[in-house]
Structure 1
Amino acid sequence: MTTNLSDTTTWLPLDGLAPGFDANKAQPSSDLHGRTITIVDERGTRITHTFGPGEVTWTYEPGEGDPTEAASQTDACEVIRVDDDLYYAQFHHEYLPNEAVSLVLDLRGGHALAILSVIGEAAPGHTAVQQHFAPARIEGMQQTGEAPAPTNELIGRRALWVYSSQHAYEHVYLSPHWYSWQCLAGPEQGLADTDEQTTWRIRPGIYVFAWREKVIPCGSVTIADHRDQRSLRSHGVLFGVDEAGTGQTHFTFGAFGRLLSNTVHPAEYDPALQPER
């Protein structure tokens, strides 16, 4: 029987993808256990994080112009060491289950980037999962080097990502707004689409790459190390609506990869150089 790959109603729900997808995930790091790290954004909003084994206790103090209410809670948390003095923490709010936080902490440069993923309702021009990016400084540390910032540096690259012995995908980074993915192995084999993406540069060759899917109500945040083109490494999360449509699916993963090719556009047609519309 031939499968109709264009029939998106048959596509696998997010929780159906989860089993086995985390085989290449890095081991959690204990480096931050017992440490308290406070980040402060441009509004003066302060978020204090105290890390313990498998958890983080956080306190949110909104700054001027921040409509978010003050809050404090302890959530389950995974911390991954990405590079020397560079960590990625992932947690899912228990008190607001439609929200998940991805936190990048650069303890060398004193910089941070928080990404809030929020499940809502899909609408024309609006994916079900939205992502909000908040750069910040780490309180009590001197800020050195470049702060995290949006970048077009991945545009033109085509990369292979292997998540397990059964799961493999390729990504083509098309423009400041779009990327294409294709499943090469796994339960989604043969499926492909073009979705919204956002890329931030954390350090030279290390990027936060996040995407928001329109067919399956989900989004992903990854931190990807592209410094060695033959040996890429990424760590991330998939977060979205479960198959029943009433709950959330939140799971972390890791991938090994390599650069397959790089497209160099003539300057007059280069998507990275086109003005925003």
Structure 2
Amino acid sequence: MSVSVEIRDLSISFGDGPAAVKVLPSVSFSVKPGECFGLVGESGSGKSTVLRCVSLLTDFWKGDVLINGKSVRDMPLIERCRKLQMVFQDPYGSLHPRQSVRTVLNEPLTIHKLTDKEERMQKAITDVGLPVSFLDRFPHQLSGGQRQRVAIARALILEPSLLLLDEPTSALDVSVQAEILNLLQRLREERGFTYIMVTHDLAVVDHMCDRFAVMLRGEVTEVLPRDAIARNGATHPYARELIAASLEYEGVNA
């Protein structure tokens, strides 16, 4: 189930000619099979853009994105969707307000011509901690945490190997954030998923990630192991400043 990910010289610009803005000058990092790899940095540093490039939601980038050594550009759409899925930041915006949970989960099964639809839907919804009766609810009948669980179930239902997590808890109440993180942690332990997780919260990295990359203005300044947070083992000035600010904030709010 686990896959490796290698990103080589990923770059992308928005706009044309002299007005073009290079959002990612050249990003490179690798993710081991079964690893949870974090991308951290201030807003606008290019974290979410990396995920959009990996998933080909944005497709005019240059460089290479390899999953188990195979370029995502060489994967047929059906294969790519079975291999990787994305969970978005906003559970209110990522679900269609007029579609029931059953419709949301049934659509990918229909597209991919998978059988045993009812069994698969029931398993997906219970795997994320919701009762089967929720299949007939609509998004407006769900809390924010429940909506995000549905979004995770939608990502799981095709049994992918790689999950791209774009700040999956930042739009939720603090009490619900821990529940969703624990759910993602349990799913990774049970199924061996590989995660690439975008977050601005180093406490989330400390809880979830094996390693993380610190991004600044579209570039990776440093790749660090999780234990570098507690001892601020970064060497790049920006990375040290970011970790120090997080430790100070946690100390004040402890």
**If the TM-score is normalised by the length of the shorter chain, which range does it land in?**
0.3 to 0.5
**TM-score relative to the length of structure 2:** 0.33
Structure with the largest fraction of helix: 2
Structure with higher strand content: 1
Higher relative contact order (CA 8 A, sep 6+): 2
